[in-house]
A and B are shown apart, each in its own frame.
Chain A
Amino acid sequence: MLKQLLLEIYKADYVSKSNLAVKLDSPVPLVEEGFAELVRLGYLLEDASLNCQDRPCGRCPYASMCQKEPLKTWTITEKGRALLEDYQAAV
């Protein structure tokens, strides 16, 4: 199931957890759990986002604006790609 989830993520243009949920016929929280496991196993990477510690915000008056995360992005790791290749070859 996790392999299939990874494959769907790979095939999709964008990650929409609700969309994946429909595709895999699973509830959204289960899809979320799947993401967490794939990350834990090192197949999927939630892209590093910046937080204020990385930034010299100091007393900049706009600091509170900058800390907001505009977007979340994911990358399938080398390990994940290798897994998908094997999987697709097998299917």
Chain B
Amino acid sequence: MKGYYARKVHSLLGLIPISLFLIEHAITNFAAYEGGPEGFRDAVRLLNDLPLVFFLELFAIWLPLLFHGVYGLYIAYQAQPNLGHFKTERNWRFVMQRITGVIAFIFIIWHVYTTRFQITLGNTTHDELGGWMHNIVTQPGFFVFFLVGVIATTFHFANGVWAFFVSWGITVGPRAQRISSYICLGLFVVVTAMFLMSLFAFRSAEFADTASVITTTLHTMIG
């Protein structure tokens, strides 16, 4: 699929549902910072108590992400960056949108494999996820990868929302696009802060208690 409609689908999916899911994800994780292990477990339970959760995951996350991600790689491949001669903020953002998309693609595959997929395999459970996360983010290499992956994804999300408004002709003039830049910058700061605060919360000793039980399993799984 090529052309106008494929690109419109790519753009729409970027916002609905993927960006909305990312915001939801930030809120759920934030429970780890606010409510500790119990708060996080309750937040995860709340999600898994949603009706038809399998279909929700499939149609609101997996399939849209697959299409947006694969088509996004193709869009990124098509660009011929020329930052060397045009060092403007918008051109930087154009290039970064593509680089962060590729980082997000790799990061998300790894992240889903080490969390959600391990639940499917039966190596951990939804209730044990807090401790499971503790074991991942207390390893320096993985923690750095998490930081890079999270910031790349939130940048891609915030700048993507900005681009979405242009792609659909909502912000037309330079003034509208400038104001929308500030709003999306605010969005970037808030969502990034929420993710980072929850990442640091997962590292805290609080989450270690639940972790000790499953440490051995995790180590055999992801090294």
Does B associate with A? no
**Chain A contact residues, CB within 8 Å of chain B:** none
